[in-house]
Copies of this chain bind each other. A is one copy, B any other.
């Protein structure tokens, strides 16, 4: 499976916010993340960088 883990950059540290992310849908002022089980999470964040081969999504907060 090709899902990825989403980390939020907070004070220089990467905090795991959702594992096994399948869908990412940018919203008006944030991101909708959905994992492979259908669990959804909305965050006030933007994508900083994604590395799909490493299964990694790095997010940063929107201030």
Contact = CB atoms under 8 A, between A and B. Distances in A.
A47 to B, nearest CB: 6
Interface of A: 1-4, 21-26, 36, 46-53, 55
A55 B52 CA distance: 10
14 contacts: A1-B53, A2-B2, A2-B53, A3-B52, A3-B53, A4-B52, A22-B51, A23-B50, A23-B51, A23-B52, A24-B49, A25-B50, A26-B49, A36-B53
A33 to B, nearest CB: 10
Contact of A24 (B3, B22, B47, B55): B47
Given A2-B2, A25-B50, A36-B53, 13 more contacts: A1-B53, A2-B4, A3-B53, A4-B52, A22-B52, A22-B53, A23-B49, A23-B50, A23-B51, A24-B47, A24-B49, A24-B52, A26-B48
